[in-house]
Homo-oligomer: A and B are copies of this chain.
């Protein structure tokens, strides 16, 4: 049994929300930040409160390491403790690290993020250097059920620069770089197929699908890579909505949808836009929970009505 199967069951039981803990110090209630001995300490207390409040609502958590690296060694201690806290509570955590390097280095990274201080259940990977930068990580799928999400088609403006480039080919349909990544990944994980029908490693697929062409593309992506579970970022702050995200699901599963700022900063919008002056982590956690519940229900409704 792979972690991807556990995630599949979590989505079935608790919905599609992946709570993104991109905890910038500015997202923490000022009263808590003032009270703490450092921003790194404040971030850990904030994260713990939000995790406690969303455990029954979130399919999983995603921790973006950049926000912790920016606080130096103390920040990485908070990063490690946040991962540990999530795993101790029996929940799944994705380390959003987007690594991609030659095979020897990939093995060192895999050791770093699938064992020891920074152990996570999943990582994110970048495919630019090729499949020998992905394959070494699979030894941990075999050994410990670990999973990964490989960047395929993201939702930032720059995705057009390279991911969308059309490749020169014999094939009738124009194929883009992201398809080349998807096809190689889909083939690679055939041998690592979980009970859920999805491969141990999936793909990062951006949520935005506004125009008719984008919706058709979303449907095509979902149909073409049937064995890839999707990590879908871009909900809320990045512009993606429940309907967009639902297009990337299959039979109501097959993906988790990440939201970071819209959940972390929900407390700033709570109580009619005027949070109590001394709003603390408890207030922030309840606002986060409400935002996660609302998001979960919206995606479930959209997934149901899309009829796939």
A interface residues, Cβ below 8 angstroms from B: 22, 24, 64, 66-67, 69-73, 75-77, 80, 98-103, 105-106, 108-109, 111-113, 116-118, 126-133, 151, 154, 156-163, 165-169, 174, 177, 180-181, 184, 238
Q: Are B105 and A129 in contact (CB under 8 A)?
A: no
Q: Are A129 and B154 in contact (CB under 8 A)?
A: yes
Q: List 22 A-B contacts (CB under 8 A).
A: A22-B105, A64-B101, A64-B108, A66-B101, A66-B106, A67-B108, A69-B109, A70-B116, A71-B116, A72-B112, A72-B116, A72-B117, A73-B77, A75-B112, A100-B128, A126-B126, A130-B154, A130-B156, A130-B158, A132-B157, A133-B158, A161-B180
Secondary structure class of chain A's binding surface, majority of residues: helix
Residue of B nearest to A128 (CB): B128
Decide yes or no: A129 and B117 within 8 Å by CB, A69-B109, A168-B167 being known contacts: no
Q: Of B72, B127, B154, B159, which contacts A162 at CB under 8 A?
A: B127
Q: Of B109, B117, B168, which contacts A169 at CB under 8 A?
A: B168
The interface residues of chain B lying within 8 Å CB-to-CB of A24 are 108
Q: Are A112 and B66 in contact (CB under 8 A)?
A: yes
Q: Are B108 and A70 in contact (CB under 8 A)?
A: yes
Residue of B nearest to A181 (CB): B162
Query: What distance in Å separates the Cβ of A149 from its nearest Cβ neighbour in chain B?
Result: 13
Residue of B nearest to A150 (CB): B128
Query: What distance in Å separates the Cβ of A204 from its nearest Cβ neighbour in chain B?
Result: 10
Query: What distance in Å separates the Cβ of A53 from its nearest Cβ neighbour in chain B?
Result: 24
The interface residues of chain B lying within 8 Å CB-to-CB of A160 are 130
The interface residues of chain B lying within 8 Å CB-to-CB of A80 are 72-73
Decide yes or no: A72 and B177 within 8 Å by CB, A129-B159, A130-B156 being known contacts: no
